[in-house]
Amino acid sequence: MPARVERHKTAIGRRDLSRPTKLAIEAGLINSDRSFFDYGCGRGDDARQLSSLGISASGWDPTHPSTSVPLPADVVNLGYVINVIEDPAERDRVLRAAWGLASSVLVVSARLTSDVKAEPGKPYRDGVLTRLGTFQKFFGQLELRSWIDSTLGVSACVAAPGVFFVFREPALCEAYLASRYTRRRAAPKVRKSDLLFEQHREILQPLMEFVSSRARLPTKDELPVPEALVAAFGSIPRAFSVVKKVTGTDHWDEGRVVRFNDLLVHFALARFGRRPRFSDLPPDLQIDVREFFSSYKNACESADRLLFSAGNTDLIDTAMKTSSIGKLTGSALYVHTDAVTELAPVLRVYEGCARQYVGVVDDANLIKLHRREPRVSYLSYPDFDRDPHPVLAFSVIASLSGLDYRVTDYRARQNPPILHRKETFLARDDSRRGKFERLTAQEERWGLYAQPEHIGTRAGWQAVLDENNCQLRGHRLIHLKN
């Protein structure tokens, strides 16, 4: 006799937005210009909070009060719904129904096998029955992606472990993927001596911001005030020549190299899915391709060479040893997530291969690129900025050869690992480096790094501080009185 499954008990109340909805907001998919519908919304917390932010949001749930019927929307969220359905055929129907409502993107999330506790429950069908009488199906990351792709006949984009974005239009998918591998660059400061520039600063600023972002001149359709620029300078190229006279050329030349590498990394990693046709690219990305590669064929061939080079362990190791970004050890190169886009393209693709599988790991702020085997670890140090020697909370190790990953939690350990020399993980122009470097220099002068094999854990480091009769006050060492 089939067990009675208490589905209504799976819905929980929350004060904050759910993780999939947060990821969609961070990706720019949810905003005031797009409607949102939560399919299987539970108590409806996401829809209420988004509505309070001025977003058109509603939800439907079969067991809780909500909108009377499912409604179409630009963005549809299917958040942790499929894992509580015990019937595989019904799961397929629910996924297709939610997809049918999404005019732009469907957000699909489910619990993963890494969420299984020591005593997950009583086995039932392809999942377990919990002590509350609810059902849980735990997916593998690859299993979840394959199921979405085969059920909908599409190629889902991984957003994070257990969270996928399914785009209705290929151009939307490409714009999202390209944004993940684009380095953010601000327009340079300018001298105030050029009268012509100063007279037209207001209409030149959008041009500078565009070229800082795209590293090429805009078409007339891409600029907010093209008529004003043409009237003042005769053409957009002439206007930009004035900008370069005032600001110099170094920033703009460097920007072309940066943008070329960003595009190369994006197209290399696009090979993991069905690389889109040129006509499926957003119009601005089509212009980028012509500007930097002459043709889409050239772009794809260059990207393929880069992707295949990421499988060459000797080349990867050489790139790590010559990298000016990150902390190199005998086994790995460590780099802060804020500095990943500063790495050499082959290392960005090496890390990107892992991200294609696991997505963005929540709260991970350090990345470990392994040198001797194809693995990438995502490390979480929650107090990296505040704590002079932050403690490791958890790690996610993704294997590129086995297409699996392992989660290790350090929060309950008595003597967890800690960090030293925090500045070495950051980009050269990171504003935090100065404070971190001053602490490292002080700790070196006081001889605290004399035995590095003893200071890698919290207890070992505290013992060294005690032996030297000192303690840390923020990012500064002080002597203790006897």
pLDDT in tens, 328-364: 999 999 999 999 999 999 999 999 999 988 988 989 9
pLDDT 10s digits, 226-276: 788 888 888 899 999 989 988 889 999 999 999 999 999 999 999 887 788
Q: Supply φ then ψ for residue 329, to 5 degrees.
A: -120, -175
Give the separation between CA 256 and CA 353, rounded to whole angstroms: 24
The answer to whether 105 touches 73, Cβ cutoff 8 Å, is: no
The answer to whether 273 touches 354, Cβ cutoff 8 Å, is: no
Strand 375-380, strand 394-399: pairing: antiparallel
Binning pLDDT at 50, 70 and 90, where does residue 482 land? low
Q: Supply φ then ψ for residue 420, to 5 degrees.
A: -130, 165
pLDDT 10s digits, 265-278: 999 999 887 788 99
Q: What is the pLDDT of residue 350?
A: 96
* 4: pLDDT strictly greater than 80: no
Binning pLDDT at 50, 70 and 90, where does residue 1 land? very low
Residues 112, 116, 120, 122, CA torsion sign: positive
Q: Supply φ then ψ for residue 333, to 5 degrees.
A: -110, 125
The answer to whether 211 touches 252, Cβ cutoff 8 Å, is: yes
Structural element, H or E, at residue 301? helix 296-309
* 14: pLDDT strictly greater than 90: no
Q: Tokens for 420?
A: 């030293």
Residues 134, 135, 138, 139, CA torsion sign: negative
DSSP string, 262-291: HHHHHHHHGGGS-PPPGGGS-HHHHHHHHH
CB burial of 229-252 (b: ≥16 within 10 Å; e: otherwise) equals beebbeebeebbebbeebbeeebb
Q: Tell me the mean pLDDT in the region 149-165.
A: 93
The answer to whether 439 touches 421, Cβ cutoff 8 Å, is: no
Q: What is the pLDDT of residue 82?
A: 93
Q: Tokens for 463?
A: 């013992």
Q: What is the pLDDT of residue 288?
A: 96
pLDDT 10s digits, 35-56: 999 999 888 889 988 988 888 9
* 2: pLDDT strictly greater than 60: no
Give the separation between CA 160 and CA 311, rounded to whole angstroms: 23
Give the separation between CA 308 and CA 177, rounded to whole angstroms: 19
Biggest CA pair distance of the chain:
86
Q: Tell me the mean pLDDT in the region 210-231.
A: 88
User: Minimal CA–CA distance to 94: which of 7, 201, 169?
Assistant: 7
Instruction: Give the domains, in start order, of the chain with CATH numbers.
Output: 7-168 (3.40.50.150), 170-309 (no CATH), 313-422 (no CATH), 431-479 (no CATH)
98: CB partners within 8 A, 6+ apart: 39, 40, 70, 76, 78, 106, 108
Q: What is the pLDDT of residue 294?
A: 95
H helices of 105-184, in order, are 141-152, 170-180
Looking from the CA of 90 toward its CB, the CA atoms found within 13 Å total 7
The answer to whether 334 touches 296, Cβ cutoff 8 Å, is: no
User: Minimal CA–CA distance to 24: which of 142, 112, 109, 114?
Assistant: 109
